[in-house]
Amino acid sequence: MTALKIIGISLLIFLVIAAGIFAGVAAGYMGGLPKLSAYKDLGHDQTSKVYSADGTVIATFHAEQNREIIPLNEIPKNVQNAVIDMEDERFYKHHGVDLKAIIRAVYANLRSREVSEGASTITQQYVRNSLITPEVTMSRKIKEAALAYQLEQKYSKDKILEMYLNTIYFGQGCYGVQTASENFFHKKAKDLTLGESSLLAGLVGAPNLFSPYTNPDLTYKRRAEVLSRLLKNKHITKKEYNASLKEPINVFPINLSETPTIAPYFVEHVKLTLIDKYGANMVYRGGLRIHTTIDLRLQGIAEDAIWNTLNEPGDPSGALASIDPKTGYIKALVGGRDFNTNKFNLATQSKRCPGSSFKAVALVSALENNIPPSRSYDASSPRYIKLADETWRVENYEGRQFSGSMSIIEATVWSVNVVYAQLAMDVGAGKVAETAQKLGVTSNVPPYPAIAIGGLPEGVSPLEMASVYATLANDGVYMKPIAITKVTDAQGNLIEQAKIEGKAVISKNVARTANNILKQVISRGTGSRADIGRPAAGKTGTAEYKQDAWFVGHTPDLATAVWMGYPEGSITMDYVHGYPPYGGSLPAIMWQRFMSAALEGVPPSDFPGAENIPGGGEVMVSICTESGLLANPACPSTKDKWFTAGQEPKDYCNIHTQPAQTTQPPADQPHDGSVSVAGVEGQSLGSATSILTGQGLVVVFSKQTSETVPKDYVISQSPGAGSSAQPGSTVTLVVSDGPP
């Protein structure tokens, strides 16, 4: 470049910036020049972070720029001084544009015969990076200078420095000191050493040129230059200078991929959930702090259980969903083999035929409708069932033959289709569909006759099936599956807090009866490969054409659904690793491998009511605890009880009379068919639920920390004791979760 060109460029820069200063001062009087007030948002896109249950960052969401904003007092003074010394030594003396720096730059450029030195201040750089487009034109330089001057009139120097240090680019996709510090050194900015602070400051001018990942030799030289400038300006001592020169440069590898490497399908589920609530702009640019339920130990075990089993080319895929029954927290989620190639989540988005794993729903529906599990049906196959306009031909799976009659218990243990088809006729497909929705199925469940054996045209997801079995594990109390426990903004202000709310959807004794029957599936039936050496209940499931195979089961501590099949669609599976494609083979094995390891260290516990294992010739009835007779909706305290068939009470309680059965209700009862809500404050949740459901009321509850009320005891209720309520209406309980 000729000296004449250098002089021309330098003078032009000087004149343009000088004109910009004048423009900034005159901005309020001249409508054609930019005004700072026109730029509504001086904030910046902030990276949202996703945390596991133990506080580990497992993913980040961001748009074009990966940034996290922190206050100036969390940025080390060494970083502040180093950046100012390298980029704008007179930062605290000028008013947005530095005329002395411009003159110095013109002189330096003339001497070197090239444009070797610029004169942009930190304020101008901030304007250029944040408020205007970066093209090199005269109009842009005028805007830059005018806005820089106005910015300095509005904000303090420290505030401008804070905004600048939170927006500058350090390379490797990192914007701002905090993000660079966390990615380069795996530490917060406030913990940076002098050497690390100097390295980052040296990257500001040319992050790719001085990158420690591509040019480590230049990185050392650049860091030494920064340290030298700090020493010259008396920001550090000679001793600190010498020590930092010898400090090795240790940076961690940075994964530039947008794909989360930990629990990718769970992270995607969280992201889509948040986008539905708050929109993509907030998720990608809002700096959210997203706290989730995922247990990284269990997640690793789940992935190993699936992919170390289905580990050969051509194997079908697998999915797993695991829920804590007491809270609804999703603890592990496997949605596919490779998120990079297929982002479709088999655990949450895929709806597949559940096969016989859906018999648990039909079983519960039968128990709710006063059909005892000792009831027997003809087990011979095939069986022809007359429907309204056709005859339904039902066969046992693989044509298995059973002779004579068989109880519902044995039909569950051995997964006998013809018995469950007849059971569905007695219960009613509509009632089975209603039970499915109560237990946790959110997909559409049409009341088709084949519903009891899993004949669902639209299918269900593994997460839904895990939720159904979690309700059984939780004594009939449904907990909505939760993936996100808390969302805050970058400053910690609460945006969303998950509520642990339970709803008693079936009686605890129905749940306990179902659990005791489903335990036998594992102990002596089709699910024997799922035996984990502790009390567990579950059910195998295989679709009619072997395109889907399931094992779904639970302990009191964990409910898990495992599915196996081809993600491309309903493709018939052949033998896999020598195993037939049944729910009782590899799905049960994968379930067993996951549950055994997941519950390691958790003391074994049995389901409540385990001693009341139903057998042949038994019936379960609800009796009034005061009279011992059959309970009616007016009885304040009831319990379900099994009797030998024929020996159960025949008469209804006459102490508490149903309003519907008398023209004059008792004096303490309303006259409109409603009941007087029992007072349950101070009682255990189980006792309170039993009392209120015995009145024909529906119980929902939420948990709240308390230093005075013991854990799992009722703090308050709504409506209150003595209130009038119609049978079927809801009573909300606030239950203690113990001290904070």
Q: Check residues 619 and 435 and name the one with the higher pLDDT.
A: 435
Active site residue 87: yes
Query: Residue 554: beta bridge partners?
Result: 537, 559
Q: Note whether 420 and 383 are within 8 A (CB).
A: no
Instruction: Find the range with the poorest average confidence among 29-33, 134-138, 251-255, 429-433.
Output: 29-33
Mean pLDDT of the chain: 84
Q: What's CA 737's distance to the chain center, in Å? A: 21
Burial of 578 (C-beta count, 10 Å sphere; 0-12/13-18/19+) = exposed
356 annotated active-site: yes
Cross-strand pairs, 46: 286
Tell me what the mean pLDDT of segment 637-656 comes to: 73
Of 422, 402, 404, the C-alpha closest to 413 is: 402
- Residue 167 DSSP class: T
Task: Give dist(CA 76, CA 197) in Å, integer.
Answer: 8
Q: What is the pLDDT of residue 663?
A: 35
What is the distance between the alpha carbons of residues 692 and 678, in angstroms, rounded to a whole number?
A: 7
* C-alpha distances in Å from residue 166, one per residue of 160, 161, 184, 287: 10, 9, 16, 13
Q: Kindly report the three-state secondary structure assignment for every residue of 496-541.
A: EECCCEEEECCCHHHHHHHHHHHHHHHHHCCCHHHCCCCCCEEEEE
Q: Which of 441-450, 660-669, 687-696 has the highest mean pLDDT?
A: 441-450
Tokens of 328: 């609804």
19-33, 249-263, 433-447, 606-620, range with the lowest pLDDT:
19-33
- Domains belonging to the chain, first-starting first, are 3-245 (1.10.3810.10), 330-598 (3.40.710.10), 618-736 (3.30.10.20)
Which carries the bigger pLDDT value, residue 68 or residue 137?
Answer: 68
Alpha-carbon distance 688 to 475, whole Å? 13
Dist CA 676 CA 670 (whole Å): 7
Is residue 554 predicted with pLDDT exceeding 80?
yes
Q: What order do you get walking across the sheet with 714-718 strand by strand?
A: 477-479, 501-504, 698-704, 730-736, 714-718
CA 378/CA 572 separation, integer angstroms = 30
pLDDT for 702 equals 80
CA 193 to chain centroid: 36
What Rg value do the Cα atoms of the chain yield, rounded? Answer: 35
State the pLDDT confidence band at 233, using cuts at 50, 70 and 90.
very high
> pLDDT of 126-149, one tens digit each?
887 776 654 455 666 777 888 888
Q: Return the ∠ at Cα 640 (arms to 639 and 646), rounded to 5°.
A: 130
Decide if pLDDT at 584 tops 80: yes
Closest CA to 53 of 501, 483, 595: 483
Contact 331, 295 (CB under 8 A): yes
How large is the average pLDDT for residues 112-119? Answer: 49
Largest CA distance in the chain: 114
Q: How far apart (Å, rounded) are the C-alpha atoms in residues 339 and 341? A: 5
Structural contact between residues 91 and 140, judged by C-beta atoms closer than 8 angstroms? no
* Backbone phi, psi, residue 715, to 5°: -85, -45
User: DSSP label at 606?
Assistant: P
Instruction: Evaluate if residue 586 carries a pLDDT over 80.
Output: yes
Would you state the structure tokens that stand for residue 699, as one six-digit string? Answer: 């119980």
470-512 pLDDT, tens digit each: 999 999 999 999 999 999 988 889 999 998 989 999 988 899 9
Catalytic residue among 322, 356, 407, 674: 356
* b/e code 602-613 from CB counts within 10 Å (16+ = b): eeeeebebeebb
Sequential DSSP letters for 463-492: HHHHHHHHHHHTTTEEE--BSEEEEE-TT-
Residue among 147, 204, 146 nearest 171 (CA) = 204
Tokens for 388, please give them.
Answer: 């309204």
Would the CA dihedral through 25, 26, 29, 35 be positive or negative?
Answer: negative
> What six digits make up the tokens of 444?
């559409």
Q: Kindly tell me the sign of the dihedral angle through the C-alpha atoms of 414, 415, 416, 420.
A: positive
CA angle 580, 378, 352 (to 5 degrees): 40
Q: Which residue has the higher pLDDT, 40 or 72?
A: 72
pLDDT at 527: 96
**CB-facing half-sphere around the CA of 188: CA atoms within 13 A:** 9
**Alpha-carbon span 620 to 372, nearest angstrom:** 6
**Run of H or E including 181:** helix 177-185
Considering 10, 52, 68, 87, which one is annotated as catalytic? 87
- pLDDT at residue 435 in the model: 96
Residue 698 banded pLDDT, cuts 50, 70, 90: confident
| SS3 at position 489 | coil
Q: Which residues contact 254 (CB under 8 A, 6 or more apart)?
A: 172, 173, 174, 183, 184, 213
At residue 46, φ and ψ (nearest 5 deg) are -120, 145
Query: Would you place residue 418 in the very low, low, confident or very high pLDDT band (cuts 50, 70, 90)?
Result: very high
Q: Which helix (H) or strand (E) holds 290?
A: strand 289-292
Q: Which of 95, 97, 115 is nearest to 106 (CA)?
A: 115
